[in-house]
Structure formats: structure tokens, C-alpha cells
């Protein structure tokens, strides 16, 4: 499917039809999250994939509008890191060294500059920065889903404390930033027939 056709077909589904996404398609969509760009390559997030009915049921009370959770195939939960410490950065560089077969010594100047950059930031700044990276993952997952002809709904409308308790998130170090329900639109979901509301070009774009 042409990408503009896929993005025009995409809408935020309110009700799915319970059909389960084939494993291969799901992994293709997840791969797009994995391939997301992130600042300094640090990927300050985790991606939970809720596939069990039991866990979806458990999560229903956490959402203000749970119709997507009770009908979707999978629920993706993007968790942002609140802290980045030296051991996390060390782990990142060990990984680069392994994947690219480069010595740690060669990577040392890059590692020091990242350490310096991160150390200067307050915890709030780290967290704001981490959350921005999570939204890039969200956008890529939504886009890949649309190309795969899979419907979705991004959702921030959840109760933070409840979702984090159910998912055993440590609020000192992590935060559930945003979720994405995936599946197939229900024929009963009347939102699919509504026209898209977007700013006209002259209000949205400015050429200079
Ligand atoms: C970050 C983010 C959070 C959203 N949270 C919710 C939500 O909690 N519940 C919901 O039904 N829609 C949610 N939406 C969907 C928006 O309302 C929707 O994208 C917007 O109205 C445009 O409509 P469309 O996606 O159908 O084109 C969210 C969208 C984004 C990008």
C-alpha cells in the first residue's frame, strides 16, 4: 500500500473486532519500533507487548475508555526511563563494541562525551528527553501497522498509578508514557466513516 493511502486509511480505532494479528505481522511492526532512531542511540525506553487475555482484562480498569483494550489483539505499552546512570551507558558501549567488533578503547571518547552530556542534565530533563524518544517509537509503530493493514489506537488516557501497579513498574525509575492498541477495526466502529479533521496547508505549513 502506498504510504499516504495507508496513513489516510489509519484512524484511531475505538472498537476492534477481537481478531488476532498473525505473529509474523506483529513482529514486523515491533521491528519498526526497534529500528527507531533515538537521541545518542540510547533507547531510553522499553516496549511491553500485552498479548494475554488475562493481562488485557486486568488492565481494563486502568483506562478511562477501555473499549479498545477489551477488543484489541495486542496492547503495546511504551515505558520511558527516568534515570540514565553510568552503568546504563557502559552497557550501551559494551553492546556497540560487541555488535560492531570495535574495541572499547576506540569508543572511549564518544562514551565520555555522552557521560558528560547526561551528567549535566537534571532528572526532569533526562525524563523529558526520554519521553520524546518514546513518541518516536509510537509514531513508527503506528506507521508500520498502517502499512501492514493493521489498525491501531494510541492512548494516553489511562490512570498512571493503576497501570504502573498492574505492570509492576517502579515509578522511581520508569514511567508508562503511552500505549498503542493494535488489531482490526470493528464494523460497528462509526469513527472509521468520519472525515479526517486536519489544519489546512496554509495554517500548518510555512515555506520560507
Ligand atoms: C499521543 C496520543 C494520545 C492519544 N490518546 C488517546 C486516548 O487516550 N484515547 C483515544 O481514544 N484516542 C487517543 N488519541 C487519538 C487522537 O484523539 C487522534 O489521533 C486524533 O483525534 C486524530 O484522529 P485520527 O487519529 O483518527 O486521525 C491519542 C493520540 C495521540 C497521538
Q: What distance in angstroms lies between residue 182's CA and the mean position of ligand 1's atoms?
A: 13
pLDDT in tens, 117-166: 898 999 999 999 999 999 999 999 999 999 999 999 999 999 999 999 99
Ligand 1 site, residue 62, Cβ cutoff 6 A: no
Query: What does the pLDDT read at residue 95?
Result: 98
Is the per-residue pLDDT at 112 higher than 90?
Answer: yes
State whether the beta carbon of 156 lies less than 6 angstroms from ligand 1.
yes
Cα(47)–Cα(136) distance, integer angstroms: 12
CB 71: neighbour CB atoms within 10 A?
A: 22
Q: Is 157 in the pocket of ligand 1 (CB under 6 A)?
A: yes
Residue 163 near ligand 1, beta carbon < 6 Å = no
Q: Is 196 in the pocket of ligand 1 (CB under 6 A)?
A: yes
Domains of the chain: 3-84+124-188 (3.40.109.10)
pLDDT at 48 over 90: yes
Region 48-53: mean pLDDT is 97
**For residue 119, what pLDDT is reported?**
86
The grid coordinates of residue 82 equal: 527516568
pTM for the full predicted model: 0.97
- Could you tell me if the CB of 152 is within 6 A of ligand 1? no
Q: Does the C-beta of 154 come closer than 6 Å to ligand 1?
A: yes
Q: What is the pLDDT of residue 203?
A: 98
| Cβ of 153 below 6 Å from ligand 1 | yes
Q: pLDDT, tens digit, for every residue of 71-87?
A: 999 999 999 999 999 99
Compute, in angstroms, the gap from residue 31 CA to the centroid of ligand 1.
22
93 CB contacts (<8 Å, ≥6 apart)?
Answer: 104, 107, 110, 111
Ligand 1 center–CA 53 separation, angstroms: 23
Query: Which has the closest alpha carbon to 178: 137, 129, 128, 124?
Result: 137
Question: What is the 111 CA–ligand 1 centroid distance (Å)?
Answer: 38
Ligand 1 geometric centre to CA of 157 (Å): 9
Atom of ligand 1 nearest to the CA of 196: 27
208: number of Cβ within 10 Å = 2
Q: Tell the residue number behind the cell numbers 505499552, with chain if given.
A: 77
Quote the distance between the C-alpha of residue 103 and its chain's center: 32
* Mean pLDDT (whole number) for 82-108: 96
Average pLDDT over residues 92-108: 97
Nearest partner of 166 among 75, 51, 56, 71, judged by Cα: 56
Cβ of 22 less than 6 Å from ligand 1: no
Amino acid at each position: 500500500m502506498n504510504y499516504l493511502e495507508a496513513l489516510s486509511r489509519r484512524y484511531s480505532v475505538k472498537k476492534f473486532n477481537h481478531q488476532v494479528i498473525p505473529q509474523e505481522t506483529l513482529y514486523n511492526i515491533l521491528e519498526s519500533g526497534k529500528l527507531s532512531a533515538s537521541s545518542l542511540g540510547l533507547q531510553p525506553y522499553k516496549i511491553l507487548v500485552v498479548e494475554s487475555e488475562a493481562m488485557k482484562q486486568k488492565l481494563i480498569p486502568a483506562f478511562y475508555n477501555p473499549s479498545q483494550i477489551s477488543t484489541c489483539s495486542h496492547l503495546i505499552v511504551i515505558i520511558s526511563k527516568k534515570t540514565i546512570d553510568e552503568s546504563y551507558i557502559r552497557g550501551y558501549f559494551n553492546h556497540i563494541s560487541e555488535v560492531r567488533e570495535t574495541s572499547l578503547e576506540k569508543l572511549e571518547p564518544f562514551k565520555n562525551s555522552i557521560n558528560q552530556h547526561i551528567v549535566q542534565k537534571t532528572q526532569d530533563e533526562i525524563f523529558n528527553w526520554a519521553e520524546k524518544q518514546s513518541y518516536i517509537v509510537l509514531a513508527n509503530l503506528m506507521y508500520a501497522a498502517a502499512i501492514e493493514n493493521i489498525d491501531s489506537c494510541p492512548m494516553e488516557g489511562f490512570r498512571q498509578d493503576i497501570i504502573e501497579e498492574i505492570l509492576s513498574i517502579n515509578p522511581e525509575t520508569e514511567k508508562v508514557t503511552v500505549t498503542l492498541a493494535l488489531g482490526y477495526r470493528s464494523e460497528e466502529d462509526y469513527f472509521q466513516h468520519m472525515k479526517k479533521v486536519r489544519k489546512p496547508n496554509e495554517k500548518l505549513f510555512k515555506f520560507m
